[in-house]
């Protein structure tokens, strides 16, 4: 009799375990996956969007580019193919928000560890000052890992077009002066299809934490 009840308890425990697994699988199947929005110009503050594209509600992607990094190498979209990346705009002589942004980008670099699915991309807004040599000096000072983080310079018009029409990251067009573009403190999260998936205050540690959380959500979306 005792043996019978022992077997019954074992069967009951197994049944409860199997039921728990089934319930868990059903719950996961029925729970909607968390996804990030795909940002378009129509979703962004009009102050950051040129008038001619403010109406765009879909299919907005980062334009192709050809710029030069801190090692004198040409950097294009091919270097970011099938990668998620975080972009921003800065200049090496900036005395205000840029040092904080660079510090936080370096923190993101550290938190990414050996993750090779995510890269970083920082564009100078004063290419006439930020030569390759200047960017290299800055990269060394700030602990930039050349294998995952490009600081890029190049044609000023191209950089401004990217900032204004692709990344939606500046408040005004340039007028030709050395410090004429009012860039924001934004970090921009870009997916593998070159679409914007999030904007974050690069000077705010809470926003950096949110970026890292959203990054995990975005990475998980590619595993389904």
pLDDT at 51: 83
| CATH code at position 93 | 3.40.30.10
22 and 46 housed in the same domain: no
16 and 112 housed in the same domain: no
Domain total in the chain: 2
62 and 22 housed in the same domain: no
Stronger pLDDT, 18 or 5, i.e. the higher one: 18
Which range of residues forms the domain containing residue 68? 41-221
pLDDT at 203: 97
End-to-end CA distance of the chain, in Å?
A: 50
Q: What are phi and psi of 151, to 5 degrees?
A: -100, 120
Q: What is the token pair recorded at 99?
A: 């040092």
Answer whether residue 36 is part of any domain. no
92 and 14 housed in the same domain: no
200 and 180 housed in the same domain: yes
24 and 70 housed in the same domain: no
Q: CA–CA distance from 141 to each of 99, 120, 145, 154 (Å)?
A: 11, 17, 11, 21
Q: What is the pLDDT of residues 167-204, one digit of tens each?
A: 998 876 555 554 456 778 999 999 999 999 999 999 99
Asked whether the beta carbons of 195 and 39 are under 8 A apart, the reply is yes
Q: What is the pLDDT of residues 75-98, one digit of tens each?
A: 999 999 999 999 999 999 999 999
For the packed helices 205-221 and 97-112, what is the interaxial angle rounded to 10 degrees?
Answer: 40
Asked if residue 27 has pLDDT above 60, the reply is no
Stronger pLDDT, 72 or 22, i.e. the higher one: 72
Answer whether residue 14 is part of any domain. yes
Asked whether the beta carbons of 224 and 32 are under 8 A apart, the reply is no
101 and 183 housed in the same domain: yes
pTM: 0.82
pLDDT at 24: 45
pLDDT band with cut points at 50, 70 and 90 for residue 147: very high
Asked whether the beta carbons of 8 and 14 are under 8 A apart, the reply is no
46 and 25 housed in the same domain: no
Q: What is the pLDDT of residues 32-57, one digit of tens each?
A: 577 999 999 999 988 888 888 888 88
């Amino acid at each position: 009799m005792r043996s019978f009840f022992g077997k019954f308890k074992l069967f009951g425990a197994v049944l409860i375990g199997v039921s728990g697994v089934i319930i868990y699988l059903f719950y996961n199947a029925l729970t909607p996956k968390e996804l990030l929005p795909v940002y378009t110009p129509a979703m962004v503050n009009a102050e950051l969007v040129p008038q001619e594209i403010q109406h765009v509600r879909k299919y907005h992607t980062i334009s192709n580019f050809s710029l030069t990094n801190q090692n004198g190498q040409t950097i294009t979209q091919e270097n970011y193919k099938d990668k998620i990346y975080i972009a921003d705009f800065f200049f090496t002589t900036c005395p205000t928000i840029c040092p904080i942004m660079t510090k936080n980008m370096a923190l993101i670099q550290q938190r990414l560890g050996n993750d090779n699915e995510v890269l970083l991309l920082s564009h100078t807004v004063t290419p006439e000052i930020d030569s390759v040599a200047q960017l290299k000096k800055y990269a060394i000072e700030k602990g930039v890992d050349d294998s995952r983080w490009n600081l890029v310079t190049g044609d000023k018009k191209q950089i401004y077009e990217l900032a204004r029409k692709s990344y939606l990251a500046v408040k005004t067009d340039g007028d030709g002066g050395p410090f004429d573009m009012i860039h924001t403190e934004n970090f921009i999260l870009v997916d593998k299809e070159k679409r914007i998936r999030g904007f974050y205050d690069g000077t705010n540690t809470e926003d950096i934490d949110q970026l890292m959380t959203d990054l995990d959500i975005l990475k998980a979306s590619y595993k389904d």
